[in-house]
Structure 1
């Protein structure tokens, strides 16, 4: 399967950062310049940059540009973050809308986070998550195909964790999570029905099975005025 152009650009920019072409805190060239350098459309380049921003590799500064992200303080959170369980625990009804759902070749970041072997494919799905019909977060989830090969789409999109335990016979392990702040892009503002530039809480989570095998890499963006994380020590 051919790797989407924006993922190819994502991989090349990330590789150049790793090789030291741009260092932490350094501003990268403008989207116009990069689009010319890579000979792609501004829309394709913007999609690649946004993916790197969502992963925490780059960060945007309004009115200034896009920079290689600096390291941030990380807060350990207890347990896995299941949107369904959190929402139901607050007496609200969870639901979701699938924006995209397809098999694909993984990006460099997905290979790294999920410890994939050469040639492995992934399932990548994008969803809007709701509580009492109000949009709360936009979520991009990547799962190795071998993990969900025997599950159907409804199992995966409705309650992945429950399906893995009840139908696949797998036991869940732990999750590592990082939370940071960002501003809503035009796409996220439209999907979550907030103003562009509104405060967004970004969660990146890697979830493992009980044997330590990573099976899920999630990048979520929560409307800052509708959701908060509670840390328990």
Structure 2
């Protein structure tokens, strides 16, 4: 099973950055030039770039271009890591709309974050998460396919944590989280019912089982005016 073209391009650009082809803070070539270089459509190239932006590897600057992202100061966030549990704890009704749901070959970023072995597949799902029917965030979650292959789509998308704990007998451990700011792309703005370029909060989370094995890599974009993070020191 071959990876989607945009994942292959994602991997090539990531390798180039790690090899020092472009340094931190340097602008990468325009989408038109890169699409010609990789011999793909602008839409496919833009999908690869958007994935790298969501991962915090690249960052877009309005009216200027796309740059290799600089390392951000990290702050540990302490609290509930499950969106469902977090919303319920605030007395809100959580729900979600699945945009895409499929298993396939992982990207280099997914291999690194999830400690995947050669040949392992990843389940990648995109969802819009709601609280009382108001869109709160757009989420891309990646999970080792072997962990969820025996469960239905609804069991995984409704509440992955509860499914793993109640039906797989696994215990959820800690999560590493980083939060940064970015501007909403046209796609994300449409999903979240906000304006393109509006400020949003980006959360990267790697969740671990109690035995220390990572089971989830999530890239989430929150509407800034509808959500806030509470830091517990």
Cα deviation, 1:92-148, whole Å, max 9, x if unaligned, reads 111000111111110000000001000000111110000110111000010001111
Find the counterpart in structure 2 of residue 54 from structure 1. Answer: 54
- Paired with 2:14 and 2:131, the residues of 1 have a C-alpha distance of 35
**Contact 1:5-1:44 at 8 Å conserved across structures:** yes
SS at match of 1:225: helix
- The offset of 1:79, in angstroms, is 3.8
Find the counterpart in structure 1 of residue 63 from structure 2. Answer: 63
Cα deviation, 1:19-62, whole Å, max 9, x if unaligned, reads 10001111101101111111111000000000000000000111
- The offset of 1:150, in angstroms, is 2.1
- Paired with 1:210 and 1:25, the residues of 2 have a C-alpha distance of 37
2:20 is the alignment partner of 1:4: no
- Superposed CA RMSD in Å reads 0.8
- Paired with 1:80 and 1:74, the residues of 2 have a C-alpha distance of 18
**Contact 2:80-2:86 at 8 Å conserved across structures:** no
Runs of 4+ in structure 1 off by over 3 angstroms are: none
Find the counterpart in structure 1 of residue 42 from structure 2. Answer: 42
- The offset of 1:86, in angstroms, is 1.4
Structure 2: gaps spanning 5 or more residues: none
- The offset of 1:80, in angstroms, is 4.4
TM-score, normalised via structure 1 length: 0.98
TM-score, normalised via structure 2 length: 0.98
Find the counterpart in structure 2 of residue 78 from structure 1. Answer: 78
**Contact 1:205-1:218 at 8 Å conserved across structures:** yes
SS at match of 2:74: coil
SS at match of 1:218: strand
SS at match of 2:146: helix
